[in-house]
Amino acid sequence: MKLILNKLRKSFEKKDVLCGASFTFETGKIYGLLGRNGAGKTTLFNCINEDLPVDGGSFEVEDEGARRPARAEDIGYVLSTPVVPEFLTGREFLKFFLDINRDRIKNEKSIDEYFDIVSIAPADRDRLIKDYSHGMKNKMQMLVNFIAEPGILLLDEPLTSFDVVVADEMKKLLRNMKEDHIIIFSTHIMELALDLCDEIVILNDGVLQEIDKANLDNSAFKDKIIAVLRGGDNV
């Protein structure tokens, strides 16, 4: 599968956020989407997820050699601020999600096996989600996307609320998933992108630009990337 972006444009009043962003993402890789805060990473994700209409350009999926519009089931989206039903317990939420998605879930596991994947303790599984920490809510949001296994997974700064141990567990899960998925991981932390991602893409001045990850071992090149993230010149 490929996700093909073609000259996407998006503006808010007089501010141009996406200015002809084009790129082709392919299955089997984790892409690090780097950009300074406010560069438009979340806006790009919201456009791909069709939460926001684009002002110009297009995007589509290429599947088995044929191009088609992206469908809702193609895309999973993990937001930086978790959106989960806080009036349910963790167990109730997972049961509800499994019930309504059973026809599309491959290799279904038990609810407790799913909790084990993201290290949610047995004592927390029957608590109301409203009483979960931010990190635990983020775990639940990531978990339902792991279960659904969409072909394209958009991750908007998902690891920043996790402690070091849990973040490492999430990285392992993503690496295990990447063979059959397109994973796009947005962050403003260059070291995280270098550690986790196969390819690095910078969103700067509203356009997408791929950079050679190998070059980031060069300190001068890193300094240049940092200058871009701060709003300086292009690479």
Domain boundary assignment for the chain: 2-84+151-229
Pick the CATH number of 2-84+151-229 from 3.40.1080.10, 3.20.20.70, 3.40.50.300, 1.10.10.10: 3.40.50.300
Two tokens at 18?
């996406």
Could you read off the pLDDT of 87-128 as tens digits, one per residue?
Answer: 999 999 999 999 998 888 888 899 999 999 888 999 999 999
Could you read off the pLDDT of 158-182 as tens digits, one per residue?
Answer: 776 667 777 788 888 888 888 889 9
pTM: 0.87
Q: How far is 40 from 29, CA to CA, in rounded Å? A: 22
Beta strand 199-204 with 152-156: parallel, antiparallel or unpaired? Answer: unpaired
Are 24 and 6 in contact by the 8 Å Cβ rule? The answer is: no
